[in-house]
Amino acid sequence: MGHPNSLRSILLKRIGSRALLYVILIAYAVLTIFPFLMSLISSFKSFDELYASALRLPSVWQWENYAMAWEAGEFAQYFQNSVFVTVISIVGLLVLGSMAAYALSRYEFRGRRIIQTYFLAGLVLPFRLAVIPVFILLRDLGLLDSLWGLILIYIAADLPFAIFILTNYFRTLPIEVEEAAVMDGAGPFRIYAQILVPMLRPALATVGVVVFIWVWNDTFVPLVFIQSSEKFTLMLGLTNFFGRYLRQWHYILAGSMITLMPVVICYLFASRQFIEGLTTGVRK
């Protein structure tokens, strides 16, 4: 306490640098969220207000923009398609992926290594570059312009990732529980369904969340394989909508917000899983 001035100046300096740190961090946070927040607000404006000024708040919040996109813009249909494709892809992927991971990590058999490498190779291959033969294949199978075609592709393309995450997680699980179950006479299918799947839950959540983002956000696959508008996913629908309502930005922004709402809501509820999952996942 002998030098109150120096103590004060140290404190001030500390507080100053601390404040600067927060200012920088908040500034960047604002920069990342700002465009989306701006668009959210503008999506409630009328056409005239939108063209008058970007920075003013809407005088009347125009929910009609959303109604317009949802009904006339057929976003209701696109939304339904996207949900269908995403949900079935995730479920299919989790079932097939966990089954394969179970066989690969709990059984020792000839060719196990080769099969594992074969799957892992899919992590390095940029899938989009193989779409031409897939296109021909789906055409010959009669699955072109079908949501089931999309689902099959998504499951196949994301299997390497699912198997990679799940086999790694299997290795961390103790084998004793399964051994006890074998002693009790449980078959492999019961062990898989009743013991392993519940234990796998955290890894399944990671895979599910990542695949949700990949499938929901994807434009390329539906762009190549879907033609008729009643089968558009949200991303394809938004592109189409943009072309139809060029200049009508109040509608386009409302449509854009519809496409990202589910992602934002899920993210805010489970941000930890999203962050954890996506920092382990490498998108091809």
Partner 1 sequence: MAGEWCVASLTRFFLGAAATMTDRPAIGRWADRVLSRKMRIVLVFLLPALAIYTVFIAYPYITSIIYSFTDWIGVGERNFIGFDNYVRLFTEPRMSGRWWNAFKHNAILFGVSMLFTVGLGLTFALLLSNRKLKGRGFFKVAYFMPYILPPLTAGFVWRYILHPRIGVVNEIFRTAIPWLGKLDTAFPTVVIVWCLRVTGLYILFFLASILSISNEYRDAARVDGCNRLKEIWYIDLPLLRPTILMITLLNFINAFGAFDMFYALTGIDGAPFGRTDVLTTFFYRTAFGTVNQPFGEGLGMGSAVACSIAVFVIAVSLVFLRLIHRTPVEY
**Contacts of partner 1 in 74-93 (CB under 8 A):** none
| CB-based contact 92:143 (threshold 8 Å) | no
CA 56: distance to chain centroid?
33
- Judged by DSSP in three states, 270 sits in coil
Q: Which of residues 231-270 bind partner 1 (CB under 8 A)?
A: 234-235, 238-239, 242, 249, 252-253, 256, 259-260, 263-264, 267-268
The residue from 7, 11, 19, 24 that contacts partner 1 (CB under 8 A) is 24
Q: How far apart are CA 149 and CA 132, in angstroms?
A: 14
- For partner 1, give the closer residue by CB, 2 or 203: 203
- Element holding 38 (H helix, E strand): helix 4-42
Task: Determine, following the binding rule CB under 8 A, whether residue 69 of this chain makes contact with partner 1.
Answer: no
Binding mask 199-218 for partner 1 (x = CB under 8 A): --------------x--xxx
Task: Determine, following the binding rule CB under 8 A, whether residue 185 of this chain makes contact with partner 1.
Answer: no
Say which amino acid occupies 122: G
Q: Which of residues 116-145 bind partner 1 (CB under 8 A)?
A: 118-119, 122, 124-137
| CB-based contact 126:160 (threshold 8 Å) | no
Rounded CA Rg of the chain = 25
CB of 159 to partner 1, least distance (A): 5
Task: Determine, following the binding rule CB under 8 A, whether residue 66 of this chain makes contact with partner 1.
Answer: no
Q: How far apart are CA 80 and CA 232, in angstroms?
A: 10
- For partner 1, give the closer residue by CB, 4 or 146: 146
With contacts defined by CB under 8 A, name the span among 2-10, 65-73, 151-159, 197-205 that binds partner 1: 151-159
Torsion of CA 164, 146, 75, 270, to 10 degrees: -10
- For partner 1, give the closer residue by CB, 1 or 246: 246
Q: How far apart are CA 73 and CA 59, in angstroms?
A: 24
Task: Determine, following the binding rule CB under 8 A, whether residue 46 of this chain makes contact with partner 1.
Answer: no
Task: Determine, following the binding rule CB under 8 A, whether residue 35 of this chain makes contact with partner 1.
Answer: yes
Task: Determine, following the binding rule CB under 8 A, whether residue 282 of this chain makes contact with partner 1.
Answer: yes
The region that residue 235 occupies, defined by phi over 0 for left and psi between -120 and 50 for alpha, beta otherwise, is alpha
The residue from 85, 155, 204, 207 that contacts partner 1 (CB under 8 A) is 155
Task: Determine, following the binding rule CB under 8 A, whether residue 104 of this chain makes contact with partner 1.
Answer: yes
